[in-house]
Each structure stands twice: as structure tokens, then as C-alpha cells.
Chain A
Amino acid sequence: MAVAAARVVPRTLRTESVAFAAMVALLLAAPAVFYPVFLMKALCFALFACAFNLLVGYAGLLSFGHAAFLGSAGYASAHAAKVWGVPPELAILFGTAVAAVVGLAVGALAIRRQGIYFSMITLALAQMIYFFSLQAPFTGGEDGIQAVPRGRLFGLLDLNDTLTLYFVVLAIFLGGFLVIYRAIHSPFGHVLKAIRDNEPRAISLGYKADHYKLIAFVLSAALSGLAGGTKALVFQLASLTDVHWSMSGEVVLMTLLGGLGTVAGPVVGAFVVIMLEHYLAQLGAWVTVVQGAIFVVCVLTFRRGIVGELSRLLTKPLRMNLVLTVEPPPVHRAIGTVERAQSQTTIKVAIVSSASGPTALLGLAGIEGARIAVAELNAAGGLLDRRLDLLVRDDGGRPDVGAREARQAIVEDEVAAVFGPVGSDVLLAMSDVAREHRTILITHTANTERALVERGHRYIFSVVPNTFMEGSAVARYLAQRPYQQYMVVGPDYELGHIQAEAFERRLRRDNAAASVVGRTWPKLGERHFTPHISAILAARPEAVYSNLFGSDLIEFTRQAAEHNLFTKVAFAGLYDVEALQGLGHDAVEGVIAYERGPFHVIRRLAPSERFEQFIHAYGAATNKYPSAWAINAYDAVMTWARAVQKAGTVETERVVDALEGLELDSLRGPGRFIRPIDHQANVGSYIGVVAWDPSFPDFMIWRDAVYVPGDEVWRPEAEVLAVRPAPKA
């Protein structure tokens, strides 16, 4: 098959050994110059790309589903290390074995077709594994498996030491690389190439082509698994990102760019792509555009890839030309020292939130809120007479990216505190980083109670009502109404269920006559709500509690209106400012709404000149009214600043002490305190009735709004104590 555009002529073993030795020497010295976590990531991907290249370059099989092997091995290794507590070498081996088994199943099916069909089948089967990972109980769903212990290799080497870990990863990479090199140059490899170039002829010579293809497929899957298992231990995380089709596309990109069918190409390609992504991470969806553009350029004009073209230019085939892979460092140590010198005059903080991805609307609002807070502080002379710098980092809605960005902000930029994110899964991943590096993390949008209770620690704080409080607040409000038969509708993932549990618990406490007659769980991102609406109508409840949000709520509302649901039952939903603006004239007058900070209610309940200025500043920057996401992010920054002033320093331990019990510096009004026991502020929920108001002709706001204070609905201290790890060591 013509895919292997850059065919190579064997060189003497001696030249190859020299090139290989040079690569090893370069990689051994690299941590002196480059950030080791970056290097480890690149090495994992380089091994992954080499394994992929074995299949496409030497067997002519373009798999578009290789993420399945990387990801399933990641889950297997993470599960083995975390749940079974096995040592790291066994965890990685187990992951490799699982990937090999998955590879055997996928490969046996896929090699039944050739060419384009083979690619489509691998893509489809990998998508099946993605959905399986999304739903299976042991993968942790959207959260992934977090805080995977690295352990001690062979009981001797402590892998929590970054440099030790780096050399172990390097050894694994070199081992995998040599296995592939050996396979390509063995008789087995020559038969593979013969099949690639002319399958009917190879068969007529007596070779069982399918047999060879399957062995190559399983070997490639197993080595991808080796990369995936190692990556899970390095990042201490196994997540859906690694099983998603975009990861399958990325490995194709790395190999194509480096050079299909060259030994060194995938390594070069992996380093270049990882570096590009690192630099472009701030630009959100532009990363995808750049990746796509590289695909197009490579296919149209650069089919040999970097290594292939270089070999051609130098007329001699440089199969092992790793010496030429010199990447500028992502974060240069020398730059770091310059920044350290500057940090005497400025204080840095970071907001790590979603500037791209499905929750970008919420993330960008928060980022703008934080920006306004920092601008106000600087305008008033800074903090402790020092200027405040806000670094903005995009998590793309992904836990692994959020953790990485938080870690880099803390380690390299030495920020004093981190704010963010939107997703609860991202929060849990970032929270582990904050604990590890003893840095303050204040959440203002993500609100899973687990982050503060089961997995709470000294450095995480929350200035939003958490899931428990939000569910309970609505129940407390509805319990005073005459309804007895309730139905629950919520997104089918952890957050929806937890919040609904809190709702039901409080409802039973406050209204003994009330009962929940049914629950229905549309999946996140559902677009057909008819079955769920039918289920609600069939159960004949008097009232419905919904914790659908964002575009799901908007779509549900439109479809439910078509079925006249709102004329038949009372309905309570998360109709925040964004949702009501999104619905416009399709919003339903008279339904009950709740949220965390509607500007139109705060304006009446806690009017202040400062809040009007905030609305004005936010409008000037975005041309929109501020949502709760913006208001709460502003509060998070201001509250941290108040704690710093009280402590007289940015030193973490003293600021944490100052934050415990501190009153928030909040746009939402005075009287909001951080409870020392779980670091949750007693911020409450706003509840009202959706209605038109003459001041807002384009979208509805609320009437009859009330505020349910946080301390009336939060989890009792005794219960928190029973679950939360001891607050102070």
C-alpha cells in the first residue's frame, strides 16, 4: 500500500547505534533544560505514535481507533494501582495486557475488511469502547480515575520524585522503541512489508496474511497500552480524553507529520505536536484548526513528513535521525528565574477555567468577573502595596488539562492562589494538585459537595452553594407549597443525582405529606425529551423539580411547552439569567426559578453603588448582563484579597488561617461567612417566579424573589465531620 511514502534503505548497524546513543544521551540530559512533566508526556505520546506507526507504516493498516488501547490501558493501570493497590510495575503490565486483549478483539474484527473500511471499523469500535468507558462503574465516568498513586517501583524507587519518575518513563519508552525496532527488522517485519506491498502475492507465497496482520495489530495495541498505562501513572489520572476519537486523530497527526513508515518520524512528530499544543493551549479551539491545517498541508504537499523529507534532502536515509529533534523548551528554567526576581514586586494569581469546550459560556463569564476584581484592586493601589497579576488558563472543560494548567501555574509561575473552574470533574482534579502543592484553590462555579466533604482538604474553599445546599434550598421553598406528588427530572450524571437526593431528603423533612412519585434522567446533552416529558405526564405529579441546566434546560423547556406540560404541573428549574436570555420569548411565565446570583434580584435585595459599577464594567467588556458565574468569580478574588490583607502576607498557611471564618467580600451582600469545618461559605440560593418585567423587553426575569440563606440548608456539621478527613494535621 502506498501509505509508506518514505521507504528506507537499511544502513549499517554502526551508524544506527551511534544515532540511537545520541538520542539516549539527549534524552538523559533533557530534564536539565526542559520541564520533566512535559518531557514525560511527550515520551508517552512518542511511544504511542511509534506503536501506531508499526501498524500503518509497516503493515499498511490505518487504524483510526488507537485511542481505545491508550485509554483502556490507562483505566486498567489506574484501577489496579488505586483500587487494588498493586505496585506500579504490575499496574503498567496489567494495563498493557488489557490493551492487548482489547486489541485482539478489535483487530480480529477489523482485519476482515481492508483499506478505508478498516479505518472506519476501528473508529467505530473505538467509539463503542468510549461509550463503555463513559458508562462503566469503575471508570469514574466524567471524573475519570483521579489521584492514582505512583507508588514505589519494585518497592525501591519512589516515583513521587519527579526526576526518578522521568528516568523510569524514559526506560519504558526506550524499551518499547527497541521492541518495535526489532520487530520491523525481523523476518516477521519483512513478511508484514511484503503483505503491505502486495497482499495477493504474499498469500500466494504461502503466508497467512491475516495471521500476520493480527499479530501486528495486537503488538501495536499492547505497546499503545504500555504508553497509556505509563501516562496514567505520570499524570495520576485516567480520563475520557484518552479514549476519545480526537485522541485517535492526534496520533495519526503525530505520525503523519513526523513521517509515516520511518523509525524516528513518530518520535519527532509527537514532540512537535505536544509542543504546539502546549503553546496553543491558550487559544482554545484554534488548536483544532491548526491540527486540521497540518493534516491538510501534510497530505497535499508533505506526505513524507519531517523525517522523510529530511532523509530525502540529505540523500542519505537517516532512519534514526533523532539527533535533529531539537525542541525549544516549553518553559525554560532561565525564564523562570527572571520571573522569580520580578515576583518580589507583583503578586500572581491564576484563574483556570473553561475558555473553550462545552462550558465556555460559564467559564468566560467567570474569567471576566475575576478580571474586573483584579482591575479594581490594582486601581486602588494593589494588594499589600504590590501589583496583582491575573494569569488566565484554559482547561477546555477537561480534568487532565485543568490539573496540568493548575500545576504549571503553581510550579512555574508561582501563583499565590488559583481560582476556577466550571466542571466539577475538573475541580476534583485541580483540587488534588492544590493539596499536593499546598496552594489555595477557591471554587466559584463548580460546586460538587464531594470536593469539600469526602475529598476536602485544608487548601480548597467554596464561595458557591454546593450541590447539597442547592437541592435542599429548592426543597425548603417547595415544601411550603401545597403540592404532595413530586417528580424529579435531572441530567443523568453524578451531579444531577446528588442534588436530587438532597432535594428529596429535605422535602421529606419539611413536608411529611410530600412524596416523590417518579424520577427521570435524560442524558447530558439530550435533544429528544419527548419520552421524559411523557413519563412525567404519565406519573401525574403536582410539581416537578428539575436540575437540568444550560442548553439542556432550554431545549427541554421548548419541547415541554409543546406538550403543554407547564399548564398541567408546577415546575421548578434552574432558570438563570443566561438560560432566560437563551430562551427569550420561549421562556414560560409563572414557572419557579432558582439560581446562585441573579443580578436583577441582588440589585433589589442588596443594592449598592459598587454592584451597579460592576454591572456597568461587565457590560462595557462583554455587552451583556453579568451572570452568577461572573458575580461569584469576582467574589472569590475579592474574598481572597481580603484574607491577604488580614494576614498581611500572601504566604499560603497564614492566608488559609485568615480565610477560615472570614466574611466574604461579596457583591451579593454582607453576612456571608466561610465555615472553618469544610471551607464552605454560607452563600444561599435565590428562588423566584419567571415573569416579564418592563425594564427588560428582550428576556424574562423573576418576580417574588426570595433568598434562602446557606446556613439554613447546608449539611449539619456533625455529618460533615463524620465524612471529611480531619481538617488539620
Chain B
Amino acid sequence: MLGIAPQALFGQLLIGLINGSFYAILSLGLAVIFGLLNIINFTHGAQYMMGAFGAWFLLQYAGLGYWWALLVAPLLVGLIGVVLERVMLKRLYHLDHLYGLLLTFGLALIIQGLFRNQFGSSGLPYAMPAELRGGFNLGFMFLPTYRAWVVVCSLLVCLGTWYVIERTRLGSYLRAATENPTLVRAFGINVPRMITLTYGFGVALAALAGVLAAPIYQVNPLMGADLIIVVFAVVVIGGMGSIMGSIVTGFALGVIEGLTKVFYPEASNTVIFVIMALVLLVKPAGLFGRAH
């Protein structure tokens, strides 16, 4: 096809899907947090990294393997997020939103700096779980089991989140609080607690992405630093108004990036930013965003 080896094409498509999985989970977490807190969580990339380190710590010091890490690491990092919200973020809600951005940017610098001091900048290896080693030969390409698992797992998590927010009673409170927190409070719902837990949940999503990433990328203090900027672009393209929008945009942009690597590799680093510029020209509110 067009003189491109099918192995390379499908290989890059798979990489695109994997990157898309991470974009989707991370932009979903950003959208959930932004919906209720009106804060863009710049610490998201650092929390993704903390998830990966959580998995590494659990293995190193508690002897807990990958499957436990998938559960425990997001809980722990989410808990740290809850503390951050209670101690710092909640003091900014009456201020301009930009202060939330500046505070979370500062927190990201601190966290990444501390981890770099402790662990250096070269990655720590994290072994793949034995059950997910190896792969399938599909005839046209080799599909490593673990990579297939990442795509499936992130799809499940994203769709689960979508279901809870759009289709359950809890989700309806959440959406209502996004629209009009004062009114929801008047109905006897503890909105501040809901805000805290929402931030914790969004952070836990980032940490879960980190655990999923640990066996693929090495566990590295700076693994989330550049990623978060790409995720911001994804969020601008999708618009933060819609949960499904974040998921679809995340996966779609991952695949587009993968295809760019095959057909015009020079642009693979920048294609998402170019798409962002084009979307801004045509539909400034984003593909799924609501104009205000």
C-alpha cells in the first residue's frame, strides 16, 4: 500500500492506539476535574508519573505485583490528590482560574524535582506481568499481548467513567453541581466533599494511566512532563464540555499521530499541535465543546 511495508503501518497504528489510550485517560481526568473545579490540573503529568512510581515502589518494597499495583497505586495517588485539594486548591476557588493553573504548575515542578533528586533522570525498569508477556502473530503483524491489554483496559475505564457520569444518579448530581453548585447544595448535597472526591478520582485516573505505562515506558521522573502538553492540545481540540468527546478525541489523535509517523515522520511530533491550530480556526470552542 503506497509503498509502505504493512508491518510498519500496522505497527505504527498499534502505537497510535496505545498513545491514544493514554491521551484518552489523561484528557478524561482533566475534563472531569475541570468540570467541577474549574481548574486545569497542570499536576496531571506528575500524578501520572507518581502512578508509575507507585507500581515500582509496591513491587520493590511491599512485594505487590502488577495486578495489585493497578488497584493500589491509583488509590494512594488519588488520596494524595485529596489532601492537595483540601490543603491548597480549595483556597483558590474564589480567585481567577489562572491561579489554579499556576499553583498546579508549581506543584508539578516540586514533585518532578523531588523524584529527579531521588531517582535521577534515567528510567527504572518495571517488568511486564508474566501473564501478559509474549504476543500473537496475526499474519500481517505481531501483536504483543501487553499492548493489546493497555488498549482494552483503557477503553473499559473510559467507557465506565462515561457511564457513571452520564447514566447514574451520582453522575447526575455531579453534572448538576457543575451547572449550579449553590442550587445543588440547597438540595442537601455536600458539594465540597463531592469536589474533593472528584479531584481525587481525576488524579487516580492519571495514576492508573501511569501504572499501565510502567512496563512499556520505563518508570521515569519526567515521563509526564512533555506528555501533559500534548494532552492539553488534545483537550483544546476536543473541548472539555463532553466526556465522550475527550475519549473519542484522545484515541483519534493517537491514531492520527501513528499514521503520521508512517507517511510523514518529520511531522509526527507536531501533528497534534497543527490539528489544534486548524480546529481553532474552524471551530474555536473545540470539536465537542459548547460555545459560551
Q: Does A531 contact B (CB under 8 A)?
A: yes
B-contact bits for A278-292, CB 8 A (1 contact / 0 none): 000000111111011
Binds A, one of B54-62, B66-74, B196-204, B229-237: B229-237
On whether the beta carbons of A530 and B120 are closer than 8 Å, the reply is no
Docked-complex contact A3 and B108, CB < 8 angstroms: no
Partner of B8, one of A2, A134, A289, A531: A531
Residue of chain A at shortest CB distance from B114: A289
Whether B236 pairs with A121 at a CB distance below 8 angstroms is yes
Quick check: A109 and B144 within 8 Å, CB to CB? no
Question: Per-position contact with A for B101-121: 1 when CB-CB < 8 Å, else 0?
Answer: 111011111111110110011
B contact residues, range: 35 or more
Q: Is the CB of B110 within 8 A of A3?
A: no
Q: Select A562's contact among B101, B106, B107, B144, beta carbons within 8 Å.
A: B144
Cβ–Cβ contact A116 & B109, under 8 A: no
Does B125 lie within 8 Å of A554, measured CB to CB?
yes
> Are B15's CB and A62's CB within 8 A?
no
Contact among B108, B216, B277, B281 with A125 in the assembled complex (CB-CB below 8 Å)? B277
Q: Which 5 A-B pairs have the closest CB atoms?
A: A295-B106, A292-B109, A288-B113, A292-B110, A289-B113
Residue in contact with B106 in the complex, picked from A135, A296, A550, CB distance below 8 Å: A296
Report chain A residues within 8 Å CB of B91.
Answer: 300
Across the interface, do A534 and B5 meet the contact criterion of CB distance under 8 Å? yes
Interface: A33 (CB within 8 A) = no
Interface: B97 (CB within 8 A): yes
Are B229 and A123 touching (Cβ within 8 A)? yes
Instruction: Check if B11 sits within 8 Å of A531, measured CB to CB.
Output: yes
Within 1-51 of B, Cβ neighbours of A (below 8 Å) are at: 5, 7-8, 11-12, 14-15, 18, 34, 40
- The answer to whether B273 and A128 touch across the interface, beta carbons within 8 angstroms, is yes
Q: Are A531 and B261 in contact (CB under 8 A)?
A: yes
Separation in Å of the B123 CB from the closest CB of chain A?
A: 5
- On chain B, the residues within 8 Å of A288 by CB distance are 109-110, 112-113, 116
Chain B, residue nearest A578 (CB): B122
Binding site for B on A (CB under 8 A): 1-3, 62, 64, 109, 112-113, 115-117, 119-121, 123-125, 127-128, 131-132, 134-135, 245, 249, 252, 256, 284-289, 291-296, 298-300, 303, 356-361, 527-528, 530-531, 534-535, 537-538, 550-551, 554-555, 558, 562-563, 582, 584, 586
Q: In the complex, which residues of chain A have a beta carbon less than 8 angstroms from the beta carbon of B12?
A: 531
CA of A528 to CA of B230, assembled, Å: 17
* A286 CB contact (under 8 Å) in B113, B218, B273: B113
Give the contacting residue for A109; candidates B99, B141, B217, B280; CB below 8 A. Answer: B280
A62 nearest in chain B by CB position: B98
Known: A116-B101, A550-B122, A562-B144. Contact between A284 and B117, CB under 8 A? yes
B204 CB to closest chain A CB (Å) equals: 22
Q: Name A116's contact: one of B40, B103, B135 (CB within 8 Å).
A: B40
Residues of A within 8 A of B105 (CB): 249, 252, 292, 295
Q: How many Å from the CB of B221 to the closest CB on chain A?
A: 8
A sample of 8 inter-chain contacts (CB < 8 A) reads: A62-B101, A127-B273, A131-B270, A134-B269, A289-B113, A359-B121, A531-B7, A534-B141
Give A358 to B99 CA distance when docked, in angstroms.
31
